[in-house]
Amino acid sequence: MAISNVLHTVWHLIFFRALDEVFADYPGTAFQVRLWNGTTWSRTSNPKFTVILNTPEALRRLFVHPSEVGIGEAYIAGFVDVEGDMQAAFELGDYLLCGTRACRISQLLLTVLGKMPYREEAGSNLQHHPLHGTIHSKSRDSQAIRYHYDLPPDFFALWLDRRMIYSCAYFADGNHADLDAAQNSKLHYISKQLRLRPGERLLDIGCGWGGFIVHAAAEYGVQAHGVTLSLRQAEVARKRSMMRALTANAGLNCVTTEISNQTVSWTRSSVLPLHGDSGMPLIRADWYR
């Protein structure tokens, strides 16, 4: 029992030393860390949120070669939890990922954390879909896209807007509480940036469930064509264009051949990533004359 207590004390000294080194100059919102045994580490008397480390290996996952996927999986698996201001906690995650950790934590301590007890089975409930083929080949990307998106649309409808747009919304004045209104503002913003005119041909690469092409065809009178690798997304987009009686102006193609093989010339093209600068989606607008 005495040896166990000594080891317990040593490990806690290591954990607290790691936290001291990593967060010594953290400039963000005040927070605290609560370990799996209830012990609390903090540099403030008024924390805005609490990071809960439910297992010892949580420190290893956060500090030894952290990544967005690793931190996300640690949260999903229950190694890490957050109480309080979640947005501020995201800022803390960015701090861990920006390279600051590598500068702050000593190599000796990093080595010790890397050798600490690790339960591989703790994350066994997380499923990783095996992908085959060359990275970023059309075949491999199709596997990834269809694994992620070829789920019942009702699942995505639970947390997306009514158009099921899978990119950031535009909260113009910072006070919008309505996601549908913010996404509608984003679609109008994009359309104006593209300077859409009636009769022009729009190619939307990665069109999702067709929100933008249906909007562009209905509101701006363009001939919109969407491209997706997801069969489920293509089905939804086609139904929506038919419901809006836009079959002549809004088309959908679930790509099985390269776009460059098509003979149609496009007046505008758009690619809308999942994130943007200052809350606005990144837009690529090209002329194809």
Q: Please report the domains of the chain, with CATH numbers, ordered by start residue.
A: 2-123 (3.30.1050), 135-289 (3.40.50.150)
The pTM of the full predicted model, rounded to 2 decimals, is: 0.61
Q: Percentage of residues in the chain with pLDDT exceeding 70?
A: 69
What tokens appear for 267 in the block?
């007046």
How far apart (Å, rounded) are the C-alpha atoms in residues 109 and 22? 11
- Asked if 185 contacts 163 with a C-beta cutoff of 8 angstroms, the reply is no
The residue with greater pLDDT, 208 or 112, is: 208
Task: Name every residue whose Cβ is closer than 8 Å to that of residue 126 and which is 6 or more positions away in sequence.
Answer: 73, 76, 77
State which H helix or E strand residue 201 sits in. Answer: strand 201-205
What tokens appear for 142 in the block?
């199709």
How high is the mean pLDDT of the chain? 76
CA distances from 61 to 20, 105, 157 (A): 17, 14, 32
**Pick from 253, 257, 264: nearest CA to 289:** 264
Q: What angle do CA 109, 111, 117 make, to 5 degrees?
A: 100
Position 55, amino acid: T
Q: Which of 144-148, 154-158, 278-282 has the highest mean pLDDT?
A: 154-158
Q: Percentage of residues in the chain with pLDDT exceeding 90?
A: 19
How far apart (Å, rounded) are the C-alpha atoms in residues 12 and 66? 21
pLDDT in tens, 210-247: 999 899 988 998 888 888 888 889 889 888 888 876 65
The single residue listed with the structure tokens 């040593």 is 10
- Mean pLDDT of all residues in 76-104: 81
Position 237, amino acid: A
- Mean pLDDT of all residues in 63-75: 82
- Asked if 217 contacts 282 with a C-beta cutoff of 8 angstroms, the reply is no
pLDDT in tens, 18-60: 788 788 888 889 999 998 889 899 988 899 999 999 987 787 7
Q: Looking at residue 210, what DSSP letter applies? A: S
CA distances from 150 to 190, 198, 266 (A): 26, 33, 28
CA distances from 215 to 103, 157, 264 (A): 48, 18, 21
pLDDT band at 131 (very low <50, low <70, confident <90, very high): confident
